[in-house]
């Protein structure tokens, strides 16, 4: 696909109460591959946020009263409409996010897939045989207005994963995408506005200034949040006054433990694909590797080969596998981590990046770092992978667990039973054996420790987006 020519589009609109409206202000949107402004997005005011929540509240009783079949049909119609607009949405996503066009196309497909997966499922209710002659009925009822707040790394996947269960259960939604990737969500709002009753889905965009108002709003019943742990903590505090439900999908510092009996090139490929997916900007990316001393050098060498061969560039260029970091703040943060690490680490290998003003960081493999190096202890969220050594597996497990994060992790061994026994001891929501994490509609997903609250995926998502309701008929 050719790079689109229209680079000054100011025509994006908020969706509030079924109407497409201009923001009370506008804000620039930057293409991270060039560092240049390419569009303007509406910037909602606090008054517009209040209108969006009020519209969602008004729409709630009607939407909650629709049949599950009707809601399935709406979710499928949204999925079809969005997928049909892939030729427009995918390039727009490349421009606002930086990811390669092939990845952007997958994002559109995954967005639609998330909605269809919810539409296929039953929202389980059951009769509980409490005791002989005593039955109670258990159902999941909608909560009300859901605030869906998302990060910039995979904007459409995150939006789809919230809209699917929220709408299917019968809630209404105020979605707020990240300020640096507002456009694809707004365009989706425009595309699907006529498929939903007014107010059931509202989309507002901000300059990182409305999150507090949305998450403390008394008429919001659930905050479904994906973002950093630091912001997540503020969200929980903000909702405490009205005891809001919260689904928090937060940061990670996912360890991989590689034992001495692995096929090194094969494991290197799996780890590289995980650590560098989306240029390292993935919550579930492998963020640090603990390799047994017997294979550490060989693993570094294989990872180094892959890093050197990595092709970074503008997501519209043919053959580019790695885009820039999504925004200037993240670019500067990862650069600072890399500069800091260079003082004590050895650079095994770095890929090449284009010259020029884009937010590119070369895919980098590091070794010989101290354990307290910030690139090991913090979530780097960028294409820089530390590969550390261990001699004793007990020590590797202790170091893997020595973090406040607990999103995911992985263990690699030629002996899967041995790997599973180690996996059972990693403090994370999901630990994989001889592979890294993959999402599936039937697989629950949630973070341990400070990586999250609540569980998403499958029936867990419906439970999380609803209120458990018991009608006890008595005995």
Q: Give catalytic residues, as residue numbers.
A: 249, 283
CA distance 34 to 32: 5
Interface segment toward ligand NAD; rule CB under 6 A; list 191-199, 204-212, 271-279, 348-356: 204-212
Query: Which parts of 383-444 fold into alpha helices (H)?
Result: 393-401, 416-423
Take residue 293 and report the two structure tokens written for it: 């001393």
Q: Per CB under 6 A, which of residues 255..314 are in contact with ligand NAD?
A: 283
The residues near 193 (Cβ < 8 Å, ≥ 6 apart) are 15, 18, 20, 201
Report the nearest approach of ligand NAD to the CB of residue 249 (Å).
3
Residue 459: HSE in the Cβ half-sphere, 13 Å Cα cutoff: 7
Considering beta carbons, is residue 127 or 329 the nearer one to ligand NAD? 329
CA distance 55 to 146: 12
Cα torsion angle, 89, 91, 96, 99, sign: positive
Report the nearest approach of ligand NAD to the CB of residue 161 (Å).
8
Using rule CB under 6 A, residue 404 touches ligand NAD:
no
Report the nearest approach of ligand NAD to the CB of residue 378 (Å).
10
Considering beta carbons, is residue 149 or 270 the nearer one to ligand NAD? 149
Using rule CB under 6 A, residue 412 touches ligand NAD:
no
Task: Give the alpha-carbon dihedral of 184, 187, 188, 190, to 10 degrees.
Answer: 170
Query: Which parts of 343-383 fold into alpha helices (H)?
Result: 374-377
Using rule CB under 6 A, residue 224 touches ligand NAD:
no
Using rule CB under 6 A, residue 430 touches ligand NAD:
no
Interface residue with ligand NAD, options 184, 226, 278, 410 (CB under 6 A) = 226
Considering beta carbons, is residue 212 or 416 the nearer one to ligand NAD? 212
Using rule CB under 6 A, residue 151 touches ligand NAD:
yes
Interface residue with ligand NAD, options 149, 295, 325, 464 (CB under 6 A) = 149
Using rule CB under 6 A, residue 331 touches ligand NAD:
no
Considering beta carbons, is residue 447 or 458 the nearer one to ligand NAD? 447
Residue nearest to ligand NAD (CB): 211
Using rule CB under 6 A, residue 250 touches ligand NAD:
yes
Does residue 128 contact residue 140 with C-beta atoms inside 8 Å?
no
Using rule CB under 6 A, residue 447 touches ligand NAD:
yes
Interface residue with ligand NAD, options 93, 310, 407, 453 (CB under 6 A) = 407
Using rule CB under 6 A, residue 152 touches ligand NAD:
yes
Using rule CB under 6 A, residue 150 touches ligand NAD:
yes
Report the nearest approach of ligand NAD to the CB of residue 368 (Å).
26
Q: How many residues bind ligand NAD (CB under 6 A)?
A: 28
Considering beta carbons, is residue 172 or 224 the nearer one to ligand NAD? 224
Beta bridge partners of residue 222, listed in sequence order: 146, 245
Cα torsion angle, 47, 176, 194, 146, sign: negative
CA distance 443 to 445: 6
Query: Which parts of 210-362 fold into alpha helices (H)?
Result: 211-216, 229-240, 264-275, 293-309, 328-342
Could you identify the residue written with the tokens 């990693």?
426
Considering beta carbons, is residue 323 or 447 the nearer one to ligand NAD? 447
**In angstroms, what CA-CA distances link 279 with 67, 275, 276, 287, 310?**
42, 8, 5, 12, 10
One character per residue 168-187, x = contact with ligand NAD (rule: CB under 6 A)? --------x-xx--------
Considering beta carbons, is residue 155 or 466 the nearer one to ligand NAD? 155
Interface residue with ligand NAD, options 19, 72, 76, 234 (CB under 6 A) = 234
Considering beta carbons, is residue 91 or 211 the nearer one to ligand NAD? 211
**In angstroms, what CA-CA distances link 79 with 15, 160, 289?**
18, 9, 38
Helix or strand or coil: residue 19? strand
Report the nearest approach of ligand NAD to the CB of residue 195 (Å).
24
Pairing of strands 286-292, 254-258: parallel
Report the nearest approach of ligand NAD to the CB of residue 44 (Å).
12
Pairing of strands 145-149, 408-412: unpaired
Does residue 136 contact residue 212 with C-beta atoms inside 8 Å?
no
Q: How many residues does the chain have?
A: 475
Binding region for ligand NAD (CB under 6 A): 149-153, 176, 178-179, 208, 211-212, 215, 226-228, 231, 234-235, 249-252, 283, 379, 381, 407, 447, 452
């Amino acid at each position: 696909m050719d790079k689109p020519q229209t680079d000054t589009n100011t025509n994006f609109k908020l969706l509030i109460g079924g109407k497409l409206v201009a923001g009370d202000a506008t804000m620039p949107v930057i293409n991270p591959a060039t560092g240049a402004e390419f569009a303007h997005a509406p910037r909602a005011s606090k008054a517009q946020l209040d209108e969006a929540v009020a519209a969602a509240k008004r729409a709630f009783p009607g939407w909650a009263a629709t049949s599950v079949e009707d809601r399935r049909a709406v979710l499928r119609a949204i999925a079809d409409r969005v997928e049909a607009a892939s030729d427009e949405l995918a390039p727009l996503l490349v421009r606002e996010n930086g990811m390669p066009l092939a990845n952007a196309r997958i994002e559109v497909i995954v967005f639609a897939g998330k909605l269809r997966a919810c539409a296929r499922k039953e929202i389980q209710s059951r009769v509980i045989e409490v005791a002989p002659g005593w039955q109670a009925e258990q159902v999941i009822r909608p909560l009300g207005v859901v605030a869906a707040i998302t990060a910039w790394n995979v904007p459409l996947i995150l939006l789809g994963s919230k809209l699917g269960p929220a709408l299917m259960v019968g809630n209404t939604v105020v979605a707020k995408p990240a300020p640096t990737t507002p456009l694809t969500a707004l365009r989706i709002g425009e595309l699907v506005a006529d498929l939903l009753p007014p107010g059931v889905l509202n989309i507002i965009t901000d300059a990182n200034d409305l999150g507090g108002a949305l998450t403390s709003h008394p008429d919001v019943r659930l905050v479904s949040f994906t973002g950093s742990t630091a912001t997540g903590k503020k969200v929980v505090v903000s909702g405490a006054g009205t005891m809001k439900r919260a689904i928090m999908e937060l940061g990670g510092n996912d360890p991989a433990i590689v034992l001495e009996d692995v096929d090194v090139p094969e494991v290197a490929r799996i780890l590289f694909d995980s650590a560098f997916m989306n240029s390292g900007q993935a919550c579930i990316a492998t963020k640090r590797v603990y390799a047994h001393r017997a294979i550490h050098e060989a693993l570094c060498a294989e990872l180094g080969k892959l890093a050197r061969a990595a092709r970074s560039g503008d997501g519209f260029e043919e053959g580019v596998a790695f885009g820039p970091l999504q925004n200037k703040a993240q670019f500067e943060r990862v650069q600072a981590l890399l500069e800091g690490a260079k003082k004590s680490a050895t650079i095994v290998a770095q890929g090449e990046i284009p010259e020029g003003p884009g937010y590119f960081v070369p895919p980098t493999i590091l070794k010989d770092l101290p354990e307290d190096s910030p690139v090991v202890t913090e979530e780097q969220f960028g294409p820089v992978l530390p590969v550390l050594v261990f001699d004793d597996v007990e020590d590797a497990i202790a170091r893997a667990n020595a973090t406040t994060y607990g999103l995911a992790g992985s263990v690699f061994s030629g002996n899967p039973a041995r790997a599973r026994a180690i996996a059972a001891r990693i403090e994370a929501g999901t630990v994989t054996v001889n592979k890294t994490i993959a999402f599936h509609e039937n697989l629950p997903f949630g973070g341990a420790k400070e990586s999250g609250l609540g569980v998403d995926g499958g029936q867990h998502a419906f439970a999380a987006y609803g209120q458990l309701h018991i009608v006890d008929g008595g005995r």
